[in-house]
Amino acid sequence: MATNNGAQFNRHPEPTFSSDQLVFTSDEKSAMQGYLEMYPEPEGAIMRGLWLAQEKFGFLPPEVIRLVADELGIPYARAYGVATFYTQYFKQKKGTYVLDVCTCFSCQVCGGYDILHYLEDKLGIKAGETSEDGLFTIQEAECLGACGSAPMLQITNGRYVHNLTESKVDSLVSDLKDGKMPAFESVTLPQDETEMGGNRRDDVESLEYYKTPPVAETFE
Amino acid sequence: MEVAKQGTSKAGNWRDYERVLLPKVKNLHKLEVYEENGGYQALKAVLTEEKWTPKAVTDEVKASGLRGRGGAGFNAGLKWSFMPPVDDKPRYLCCNGDESEPGTFKDRQLLEYNPHLVIEGILIACYAMSITTCYLYIRGEFADWITHIEHELEKAYAKGYVGKNIMGTGFSTDVVIHKGAGAYICGEETSLMNSLEGKRAYPRIKPPFPAQKGCWNYPTTINNVETLACAPLIINKGAEWYSAIGAPTHPGPVLYGISGHVNRPGVYEFPTGMLITDLINEVAGGMRGGKKLKAVIPGGSSTPPLRADMIDGVTMDADSLRTAGSMMGTGGMLVLDETVDMVTWLKRVSHFYHHESCGQCTPCREGTGWLEDIVGRIDRGEGNVRDLDLLADLCTQMEGRTVCALADAAAWPVRYTIERFRDEFVAKCKPTLTPAGSPLTVDA
Ligand SMILES: Cc1cc2nc3c(=O)[nH]c(=O)nc-3n(C[C@H](O)[C@H](O)[C@H](O)COP(=O)(O)O)c2cc1C
Ligand code: SF4
Ligand code: FES
């Protein structure tokens, strides 16, 4: 039972989710079966399984990790070890929108910290904190692989927002407050700008990441 | 420190260069468009033409001189030839799309704009090594791009380019996309394998090397995304064509990811062997705001920075960069102007390595923490000049003494930034009045 896991590991005495909530839908179960088929051993499916669970529950408390492990038929300790290894798996509840501002290698010299501090002032919280309304968490991120469009940030492990300015941050925050996720932005190559008018893709709007919202509506 | 002028560009007539990794074709990422532009013809050739035995494909890639684009620059065909003879046991290919080396952002552009070239390259490599499963490992942050590639991969499956009985030839290979979850270390080849296996992603001790014991202990080869994307080009146009592009000892087209204080940052495709000065002044539109160049980090955060006065005549290939005192790495070049405080900059770089150390080896786990702390102390004006020697000492104790190269990658920027920008560090230190180690030492 989920309740015991928390106590046993003494990391989460009070489970966040009740046993009624701790169920996967039949679609989710078949997705899990699909993950199992992708690897010769069931353990390979852990990461995909945890991703699915995090998209559903918003974060991964022990009872959710247990649920994933049971669904995949692997030891809980193994799944727990993996869940705690990676930064993108949230061990604590975070805001609906987690803003990962890159302040690493290139971003730090291109205004990454200016953007971070501007956001901190704007939302009245420091990096690592969540706003009182539960809407925003700000985090300082390591290189996100978009250094050519520094400074940049990522929203809740999903969308990238490139070439940030203060006014871009303003409209981003107000859009997110309205529940509007910014559209996918295809970073044009400078050579494409010269040779093709920057005109490489005409289908970016078809990209959709969140199959389920960042925090499932069912629990709100 | 005087560095002799090494010479001129090895990139030939680069101003007229026609791109091949990211050619000038609109919507090339779509399977239909890729097919119209000769896509999957190299795969078809190797699967149907008599002359393309698996060994012949490997030999062709070896002869092309293609060197890995993931950082280490190892000859790709040679690596393929390390796979043991085929038996009835599974064998794997891993395509490394972890792209987490700070300053590197080229694989993402390649995966977005020309995913089928990567997939075709994967399939050719699988054929050459008789592999029936490839894991394409993509860092979890690239969620949007994972969706995008999954979509295109599905189309390739539907068209019979991937999966069972490819193009009716009896050859079968699956491509599985594995989504990471945020850990730099997963880019290290053996860590990536543990990550795939659903373990904590600790790097493994080598030997055994992946070709002997890789994924699930079976023979495995691992290559970077851009490396594999070169395979179809080599098959289509020949090893000779490929090896004639750019620097003779490090040939081919390459994606330069230029970031920092230039007017037009971004990913550029050019031959290897470009002059750094051409890349900055011409290709990337020169220094932003007309400021003066201070430093160039040529190939990602792990490669030693070059001072502005060290880059004259230096070209972007392994030999030239080694002579100059750095490395090609991933080709992700950071350009820093005169406004940058190298001490503060290094502090943030050291923080990265401390954060990303997996903690398995003591010299790395403790060392990266010390590097960050001591550089931070100097940055706050609380360090002593003798701390600079302490840092050099620490680097020596980390280099080459750990399971993987992360410890070296953390030590190099510290060692060489201090060596090459010593004045800046000294200026931030409190002077030491008596020799270090003396009982009379007092700090001013
Ligand atoms: C700490 C560390 C991180 C690495 N990260 C990456 C990476 O993100 N992408 C990559 O392709 N190679 C990375 N590498 C290099 C890989 O271990 C491996 O050499 C490479 O993927 C081999 O491909 P190639 O021969 O085609 O370059 C990393 C190495 C180390 C030591
Ligand atoms: S060198 Fe560092 S990152 Fe590599 S295995 Fe050792 S502790 Fe882990
Ligand atoms: S340094 Fe910010 S994305 Fe690479």
pLDDT of residue B7: 77
Chain A contact set for B184 (CB, 8 A):
142
Give the pLDDT confidence score for residue B252 in this predicted structure. 98
Residue A140 and residue A130 in contact, taking contact as beta carbons nearer than 8 Å: no
Sign, CA dihedral B358-B377-B335-B299, equals: negative
Residue A145 burial by Cβ neighbours in a 10 Å radius (0-12, 13-18, 19+): buried
Predicted TM-score (pTM) of this structure = 0.94
CA gap B228, B67 in Å, rounded: 10
Q: How far apart are CA A91 and CA B203, in angstroms?
A: 23
Rg (CA), chain B: 23
Cβ within 8 Å of residue B132, ≥6 positions away: B90, B91, B126, B172, B173, B174
List CB contacts (< 8 A) between B267 and chain A. Answer: 148, 189
User: Residue A38: closest CA among chain B residues belongs to which residue?
Assistant: B176
B342-428 classified as CATH 1.20.1440.230: yes
Whether ligand 3 lies within 6 angstroms of the CB of A102 is answered as yes
> pLDDT digit string (tens) for B112-157?
999 999 999 999 999 999 999 999 999 999 999 999 999 999 999 9
Contacts of A148 in chain B (CB under 8 A): 105, 257-259, 265-267
Q: Which CATH code for domain B25-242? A: 3.40.50.11540
Q: Residues B156, B122: contact at Cβ < 8 Å? A: no
Q: Which of B27, B102, B141 sits opposite A154 (nearest CB)?
A: B141
What is the chain A residue with the closest CA to B201?
Answer: A85
The minimum CA-CA distance between B393 and chain A, rounded to whole Å, is: 24
Two tokens, residue B295: 């430093």
Q: For B170, which DSSP code?
A: S
Q: Identify whether B271 is preceded by a cis peptide bond (ω within 30 of 0).
A: no
> B362-387: per-residue pLDDT in tens?
999 999 999 999 999 999 999 999 99
| Closest residue in chain A to residue B196, using alpha carbons only | A44
Given CB atoms, is B309 within the 8 Å cutoff of chain A?
no
Give the sheet arrangement for strand A136-141, strand by strand. A136-141, A97-102, A153-155, A160-161
- Complex confidence, ipTM: 0.94
Tens of pLDDT, residues B176-190: 999 999 999 999 999
Shortest distance between the Cα of A19 and any Cα of chain B, in A, equals 26
- Which of B19, B28, B105 to probe by mutation at the A interface, max A CB count within 10 Å? B105
Are B248-337 and B342-428 in the same CATH fold? no
User: Contact A157/B216, CB-based, under 8 Å?
Assistant: no
Residues with Cβ within 8 Å of B125's Cβ and at least 6 positions away in sequence, in order, are B80, B93, B131, B134, B221, B223, B228, B231
Tokens of B103: 């300053």
What ligand 3 atom has the least distance to the C-alpha of A144? 3
Q: Find out whether the beta carbon of A106 lies less than 6 Å from any atom of ligand 3.
A: yes
Residues of B in contact with A116 (CB under 8 A): none
Please judge whether B103 and A202 are an interchain contact, meaning their C-beta atoms are less than 8 angstroms apart.
no
Our answer on whether the CB atom of B191 is closer than 6 Å to any ligand 2 atom is no
Cα separation of A42 and B196, whole Å? 11
Residues of B whose CB is below 8 A from A199: 26
Let me know: does B130 contact B219? Beta carbons within 8 Å: no
Q: Which long-range contacts (CB under 8 A, 24 or more apart) does B378-381 make?
A: B378/B343, B378/B425, B378/B428, B378/B429, B379/B343, B379/B344, B379/B347, B379/B428, B381/B428, B381/B430
Residues in B 229-248 with any Cβ partner in A closer than 8 A? none
Mean pLDDT of successive 10-residue segments in chain B (444 residues)?
64 96 97 98 98 98 98 97 96 98 98 98 98 97 96 95 96 96 97 98 97 98 98 98 98 98 96 98 95 97 98 97 97 96 96 97 98 96 95 97 97 98 96 61 49
8 Å CB contact of B183 and A51: no
Which CATH number, 3.20.10.10, 3.30.70.20, 3.10.20.600, 3.40.50.300, labels domain B248-337?
A: 3.10.20.600
Give the C-alpha separation, B147 to B132, whole Å: 23
Of A143, A154, A162, best ligand 3 pocket probe by most atoms within 8 Å of the beta carbon: A143
Phi/psi at A155 (nearest 5 deg)?
A: -105, 120
| pLDDT the model gives residue B46 | 98
Domains by residue range for chain A, with CATH? 18-85 (1.10.10), 97-208 (3.40.30.10)
- Residue A86 and residue B112: Cβ atoms within 8 Å? no
| Ordered DSSP codes for chain A | -HHHHHHHHTS-SS-SS-TTT----HHHHHHHHHHHHTSSSGGGGHHHHHHHHHHHHSS--HHHHHHHHHHHT--HHHHHHHHTT-TTS-SS---SEEEEEE-STTGGGTTHHHHHHHHHHHHT--TT-B-TTS-EEEEEE---S-GGG-S-EEETTS-EE-S--HHHHHHHHHHHHTT-PPPP--PPPHHHHHHHTT---S-GGG----SS-SS-GGG-
Residues of chain A with pLDDT under 50: 1-9, 207-220
Residue B177 CA: distances (Å) to CA of A32, A35, A166, B136, B145 = 15, 10, 36, 5, 11
How far apart CA B158 and CA B163 sit, in angstroms, is 9
Question: Which of A78, A186, A189 lies at the smallest CB-CB distance from B198?
Answer: A78
User: Average pLDDT, whole number, for chain B?
Assistant: 95
Q: Where are the domains of chain B?
A: 25-242, 248-337, 342-428
Q: B197 vs A87: CB contact, 8 Å cut-off?
A: no
